[in-house]
Amino acid sequence: MKKLFILIVTLTIILSTGAIKPVQAQTQHGDIQVFIDGLPVDFDVKPVIKNDRTLVPFRAVAEMLNVKVSWDGARQTVNASDGEISVMLQIGNKTAYRNGTPVVLDVPPVIINDRTLIPLRFFSEAFDCRVEWDGVTRYVQITSPPRAMTVVGFYALGDRETSSWTDLFNENYPSTGSGNTDVVSVLALGWYSLDEQGNLITDSKSGWRLPDGWEDVLAAAGKYNLETEMVVHLTDGEGTLSNLLTDEAAMSRAIGDITKEAALYQGVNLDFEGLGWRAGNEELVAVRQSFNRFVQLLSGQLKEINRSLTLTLHPPNSAYKGYDYRELGRYADRIIVMAYDYGTVPEPLELVIEAVERARADVPPEKLVLGISIPSETVESIPAKVGIAKRYNLEGIAIWRLGLVLDEIWSILRSTVASRQLGS
């Protein structure tokens, strides 16, 4: 996180001044475009090339990466700090300071159209980010250092080609290896469902089934320090879920069965899908209230046995409106926002960002996890999705699902994420 903040510091301080006469800089044909962690950066003053060096505005990046920047008009200096590392630059001065240590710049910071621009090279050298320049396309690609975050991997039944076990441990069952366990923090084990009477079942029509040798999965998770969650999956097809949530006896039975089984895991992941589809206003209110109550009661029971509760929810901008994020965020320890299935591949950035912003308006970001559907993405689109989780300071990301993750995607995750392991 420290390095991430610094990278920002060193990437953009678009600060208003007006006290200094602007410096004129010549740009080449074609605007310079800047991307941070795969996401485009919008500037009100464009980056420029001066004396064969690229200069970039400051504040836009600082705000995106949540680094606070201050301007000292009397001294004409820009200061930025993440609480551990501080950076100071002065307009027209080729000497900058990092934690008080002088750093010689190729070109000094300048003011252009009342905005402060600083040399790009300083970013990479001072803040440990990777900066790539493509002179043909005039693209600047900036990759921030890996950020510590939770990575939830959904573990579901597959076949020989899409085995979650093989994908995670890089060995055929029952052999294990460290494989990709350095990337994953939590295993969300898709093994459970409920019937209409609220009984916990391990062999559902939708294919969610407790596999033979499930104990081996839990043992291997413990060996590699992975947290485990029992996923309870149910959809509202034919009103099954809605009916359960309005049946007191069925709710009580479901909560009791889930709580009892949860003793085998570190937590419960409730994946109740399809609520609120085409519901009218009054019906929608009732659906939300019934789900809120179920989650509140289950959360209370799980707390008594020291187990966590994760909710896997449709995004706020989906067609399923039966999820009251604000109220659910009071009871859940973690909410996975399934910001996918919008209808295109890869998932559109603007809709994923909208989903995160709306969820973040109701739930603290440290409780939010961005769901990423591997079938809905490409190798090229994954960095931007991880970049959204970084930009909005979310707890982490969730991968649907293990068994479908290509080697190239594992490499991308390994270079952008520092997994939070159990107990860290």
Which tokens in the block code for residue 255?
């909560």
Q: Please say which residue of 143, 158, 179 terminates a domain.
A: 143
Higher pLDDT, 360 or 25: 360
State how far the Cα of 360 lies from the Cα of 355, in Å rounded to an integer.
8
Tokens coding 101: 């240590």
DSSP string across 310-362: EEEE--TTSS-----HHHHHHH-SEEEE----SSSSSPPHHHHHHHHHHHHHH
Looking at the structure, do residues 165 and 179 belong to the same domain, yes or no?
A: yes
Confidence tier at 239 by pLDDT (50, 70, 90): confident
Q: Does an H or E element contain 298, and which? A: helix 281-304
Query: Containing domain of residue 112, as a range?
Result: 2-143
pLDDT value for 306: 98
Average pLDDT over residues 31-54: 89
Q: Is the pLDDT of residue 235 over 70?
A: yes
407-416 and 382-391 helices, crossing angle to 10° = 20
**Could you tell me if 234 and 252 lie in one domain?**
yes
196 and 129 within one domain: no
- The residue among 109, 119, 43 whose CA lies nearest residue 75 is 109
pLDDT per residue as tens digits for the range 213-232: 999 999 999 999 999 999 99
Mean of pLDDT values over 74-86:
83
For the whole model, what pTM was predicted?
A: 0.89
178 and 267 co-located in one domain:
yes
* Overall average pLDDT of the 54-71 stretch: 78
Measured CA to CA, the distance from residue 413 to residue 175 in angstroms comes to 24
pLDDT in tens, 253-294: 999 999 999 999 999 999 999 999 988 899 999 999 999 999
CA dist., res. 414 & res. 407, Å (int): 10
**Shared domain check, 170 and 125:** no
Closest Cα partner for 207 from 401, 407, 375?
A: 401
| pLDDT: which is higher, 421 or 388 | 388
Task: Kindly state whether residue 424 falls inside one of the protein's structural domains.
Answer: no
Report pLDDT digits (tens) over 114-165. 888 988 777 777 777 888 888 889 888 888 889 999 999 999 988 889 999 9
Looking at residue 42, which CATH number applies to its domain? 3.30.457.10
In a domain, 289, yes or no: yes
Instruction: Identify the domain boundary among 143, 162, 196.
Output: 143
Q: What is the mean pLDDT of residues 333-358?
A: 98
In a domain, 78, yes or no: yes
**In this structure, are 66 and 13 located in the same domain?**
yes
Could you tell me if residue 208 is inside a domain? yes
Is 83 part of a structural domain of the chain?
yes
Q: Are residues 210 and 110 in the same domain?
A: no
Measure the CA dihedral 317/318/319/321, to 10°.
-70
- Shared domain check, 305 and 366: yes
* Same domain membership, residue 375 and residue 236: yes
> Are residues 133 and 198 located together in one domain of the fold?
no
| Residues 123 and 88 both lie in one domain | yes
Taking alpha carbons only, the member of 242, 335, 256 closest to residue 289 is 242
* Strand partners for 400: 373
Domain containing residue 223: CATH number: 3.20.20.80
Whether 245 is covered by a domain: the verdict is yes
Domain finish residue from 112, 143, 174: 143
Within a domain: 411: yes
Both 122 and 207 in a single domain? no
Cβ–Cβ < 8 Å for 288, 313: no
Question: How many domains, in total, are found in the chain?
Answer: 2
194 closest CA partner among 126, 113, 270, 293: 270
Is there a domain that residue 54 lies in? yes
Can you tell me the distance from the alpha carbon of 353 to that of 225, in angstroms, rounded to the nearest whole number? 32
- pLDDT at residue 308 is higher than 90: yes
